[in-house]
Chain A
Amino acid sequence: MTGTDEKVHLTREHCLDLLRQMVRIRRFEEKCAELYSGQKIRGFLHLYIGEEAVAAGTMQALKPDDAVVATYREHGHALARGLAMGPVMAEMYGKVNGASRGRGGSMHIFDRGKRFLGGNAIVGGGLPLAVGLALADKMQGRDRVTACFFGEGAVAEGEFHESLNLAALWKLPVLFLCENNLYAMGTALDRSESQTDIHLKAASYNLPSRQVDGMDVVAVEGAAREAAASVRRGAGPFFLEFRTYRFRAHSMFDAQLYREKEEVEQWKENDPIPRFADWAQQADLLHPADKEAIEASVQAELAEAVAFAEAGAWEPVEDLQKFVTMDEVPA
């Protein structure tokens, strides 16, 4: 139930969808970790486990012709945006049937049809792009929003400040979505920022800015809907800071020397999936059998996605330089 409504309507159907989206991401990521160990996936692999509520909730506020700019931890964004799981998994494998023909891998999922403009692996590098996408929409009078995800690590980059300023100055339709998981790789927020209250930094650029519990999918969706509606009204960009946490290591090479196990365990008690499922069950919106049904359907989807990736071909080496320069602008 994506769209422009400013309020969350917690029907049973919608609750099922929210839970399904989060479970899809969780199980996908777990499968990726397994496939990484089995050397099917190589390179850097950044898992989104623990942060699912942010992608699942925010995407509810977007329309199909809105654009999404994401980070290198973007599998969840891609799935929640509606990319089929098969091409996303095939991209992990580097196969030609992957979302980006296997060219980008885990960090660079693109999908023109879904207006998903990439995982960007330069921290902060996606923000100027989002500003430009929104500028084009504004100049052409199109009613579209560009949603731009980035982590709190990006806040230390100049591109964050330049982009917020430019978007606010020109009143561009950008939804800035900061996923504050408290660690920029291994650097804790209070070891890298003089002001750890990130939404206050954003507010200094004269745009509406709010902090949201990123472990509560309903709160995320509510905030995203309100923010997107404000952007659609032409009020300019809106900034949301989601307080969240990644349960897994930064990447597959991270021994997590920088945080205490107790801290991780404490956050896991706030796991967005059981938190929402239990709440919805208590509110009689979901039934005990729903969870199993969702798990079963996600397992089937996942098995199909892995089979799709396994069956995919490798791009012929002869095509190595294809698309370095383009012969035409894709229609």
Chain B
Amino acid sequence: MNGDGTAAPRLRLTYRDAVREAIRDALTRDERVFLMGEDVGRYGGCYAVSKGLLAEFGEDRIRDTPLSESAFVGAGIGAALNGMRPIVEVMTVNFSLLALDQIVNNAATIPHMSGGQFAVPLVIRMATGSGRQLAAQHSHSLEGWYAHIPGLKILAPATLEDARGMLWTAIEDPNPVLIFENVQLYDMEGELPADAGPVDITRAAIRREGKHASVVTFGGSVPKAVAAAETLAGEGVDVEVVDLRSLRPLDDATIMASVAKTHRVLVVDEGWRSGGLSAEVSARINEQVFYELDAPVARLAGVEVPIPYPKHLEDASVPQADTIAAALREMVGRR
């Protein structure tokens, strides 16, 4: 609502536009903020997220970097240690492995290892996930790995509102925050109020209310889970969809409240099953609300395979709306 009591006009935009608006907003709000990464400037971003920002903010604040993930991510950490609020874009999570040393050994350790003398208020954004036929070195979902690391905060915006709102909150956080943008979401269209702004980054969200079963998921699987829930609704099964939003720390309270309400839960994760985030969520549910369960916790995760190129094999590698629906039917005993 605006001050005069009228609702702000609504804008039609894509997830990509929402991320761009978030970056523009952050650059405008705080002169310590700058964006750096491969091809974020002249090229406009591999996924066109930063298109136009170079012209608007100049080369000092929209920095094209060499293909040196370790150096420019480490430079982001150093700049954060020295008063800046950098946004580092890593083209995809797959490339971020070249910067793993800096993220895990420096960003995640320095505050604790220095006895609290230094903080690393850094945001690293990266694309993640499959769905664009980019094969095994561009399509993996490794955010679950990062969620293993104490000292990091891990976010997975799955809606336009979160794509627009999580960034500023992450920048204001005194810790290194990694934001994972699923590549299947960039083209997602929707509406946002023109005055959309920062959002909380600590709580999971209920994307669809239901009473027969819960799906707990995040990122690119959220729209798929919602679609599956709509399908099931037509079959008389009322499914609740929990969007984790923050993968570290996890909002246990929201997850457990949903399980306590529906008594059946399916955890959906595009990442691989073994040792993955779905295993962590499942274990927590069993530890915390075991006696609320009417059925074993079920998991639907990525097939344990390097994501292949052909469309039909790629699609078969990760959860889809129809496989989520099938898993739900099985869980509630309707095949």
List A contacts of B101 (CB < 8 A): 122, 125, 159
Q: Could you tell me if A100 and B114 are in contact, using CB atoms closer than 8 angstroms? A: yes
Q: Could you tell me if B79 and A133 are in contact, using CB atoms closer than 8 angstroms? A: yes
Residue from A135, A165, A326 in contact with B79 in the complex, judged by beta carbons closer than 8 Å: A135
Known contacts A132-B76, A133-B82, A162-B66, A328 near B174 by CB under 8 Å: yes
Closest to A101 in B: B115
Residue from A102, A110, A128, A325 in contact with B151 in the complex, judged by beta carbons closer than 8 Å: A325
Contact residues of A between 32 and 73, Cβ < 8 Å to B: 67
Contact residues of B between 45 and 89, Cβ < 8 Å to A: 60, 65-66, 68, 70-84, 86
Q: Could you tell me if B72 and A166 are in contact, using CB atoms closer than 8 angstroms? A: yes
Q: Could you mark each residue 104-136 of chain A with 1 if its beta carbon is under 8 Å from any beta carbon of chain B, else 0? A: 100010111000011010100101111111111
Known contacts A101-B115, A117-B81, A133-B79, A329 near B74 by CB under 8 Å: no
Using a CB–CB cutoff of 8 Å, the interface residues on chain A facing chain B are 67, 98-104, 108, 110-112, 117-118, 120, 122, 125, 127-137, 139-140, 146, 158-159, 162-163, 165-166, 169, 321-330
Closest to A140 in B: B83
Contact residues of B between 149 and 206, Cβ < 8 Å to A: 150-151, 153, 174-175
Contact residues of B between 78 and 128, Cβ < 8 Å to A: 78-84, 86, 101-102, 105-106, 110-119, 121
Q: Could you tell me if B74 and A139 are in contact, using CB atoms closer than 8 angstroms? A: no
18 A-B interface contacts by CB (under 8 A): A99-B115, A101-B115, A118-B110, A125-B74, A128-B73, A129-B74, A129-B75, A132-B75, A132-B82, A139-B60, A158-B70, A163-B74, A165-B66, A166-B66, A323-B112, A323-B114, A325-B111, A326-B174
Q: Could you tell me if B74 and A131 are in contact, using CB atoms closer than 8 angstroms? A: yes
List B contacts of A329 (CB < 8 A): 119, 121, 174
Q: Could you tell me if B116 and A323 are in contact, using CB atoms closer than 8 angstroms? A: yes
Number of A-B contacts (CB under 8 A): 156
List A contacts of B272 (CB < 8 A): none
Closest to A174 in B: B78
Residue from A99, A102, A133 in contact with B78 in the complex, judged by beta carbons closer than 8 Å: A133
Using a CB–CB cutoff of 8 Å, the interface residues on chain B facing chain A are 34, 60, 65-66, 68, 70-84, 86, 101-102, 105-106, 110-119, 121, 150-151, 153, 174-175
Residue from A163, A166, A325 in contact with B153 in the complex, judged by beta carbons closer than 8 Å: A325
User: Which 3 A-B pairs rank lowest in CB-CB distance, beginning with the nearest?
Assistant: A132-B78, A128-B74, A101-B115
List B contacts of A327 (CB < 8 A): 174
Q: Could you tell me if B71 and A120 are in contact, using CB atoms closer than 8 angstroms? A: no
Known contacts A125-B105, A324-B112, A132 near B117 by CB under 8 Å: no
Closest to B34 in A: A139
Alpha-carbon separation in the docked complex, A118 to B119 (Å): 13
Alpha-carbon separation in the docked complex, A255 to B322 (Å): 63
List A contacts of B79 (CB < 8 A): 132-133, 135-136, 139
List B contacts of A100 (CB < 8 A): 113-115, 117
Considering residues B68, B74, B80, B119, which has the most beta carbons from chain A within 10 angstroms of its beta carbon? B74
Q: Could you tell me if B119 and A110 are in contact, using CB atoms closer than 8 angstroms? A: no
Q: Could you tell me if A324 and B151 are in contact, using CB atoms closer than 8 angstroms? A: yes
Alpha-carbon separation in the docked complex, A125 to B68 (Å): 13
Minimum Cβ distance to chain B for residue A28 (Å)? 20
Residue from B66, B80, B115, B116 in contact with A132 in the complex, judged by beta carbons closer than 8 Å: B80
Q: Could you tell me if A131 and B78 are in contact, using CB atoms closer than 8 angstroms? A: yes
Alpha-carbon separation in the docked complex, A149 to B199 (Å): 41
Minimum Cβ distance to chain A for residue B209 (Å)? 31
List B contacts of A127 (CB < 8 A): 71, 74
Known contacts A112-B118, A166-B75, A329-B119, A159 near B70 by CB under 8 Å: yes
Minimum Cβ distance to chain A for residue B121 (Å)? 5
Closest to A323 in B: B116
Closest to A170 in B: B63
List B contacts of A67 (CB < 8 A): 82
Closest to A328 in B: B174
Alpha-carbon separation in the docked complex, A102 to B114 (Å): 9
Alpha-carbon separation in the docked complex, A136 to B112 (Å): 22
Q: Could you tell me if A322 and B116 are in contact, using CB atoms closer than 8 angstroms? A: yes
Alpha-carbon separation in the docked complex, A79 to B70 (Å): 30
Q: Could you tell me if A166 and B174 are in contact, using CB atoms closer than 8 angstroms? A: no
Alpha-carbon separation in the docked complex, A103 to B74 (Å): 22
Alpha-carbon separation in the docked complex, A122 to B96 (Å): 18
List B contacts of A129 (CB < 8 A): 74-75, 77-78, 81, 102, 106
List A contacts of B70 (CB < 8 A): 128, 158-159, 162
Closest to B83 in A: A136
List B contacts of A136 (CB < 8 A): 78-79, 81-84
Q: Could you tell me if A131 and B114 are in contact, using CB atoms closer than 8 angstroms? A: no
Alpha-carbon separation in the docked complex, A125 to B102 (Å): 7
Residue from B75, B111, B117 in contact with A131 in the complex, judged by beta carbons closer than 8 Å: B75
Minimum Cβ distance to chain B for residue A214 (Å)? 26
Q: Could you tell me if A139 and B84 are in contact, using CB atoms closer than 8 angstroms? A: yes
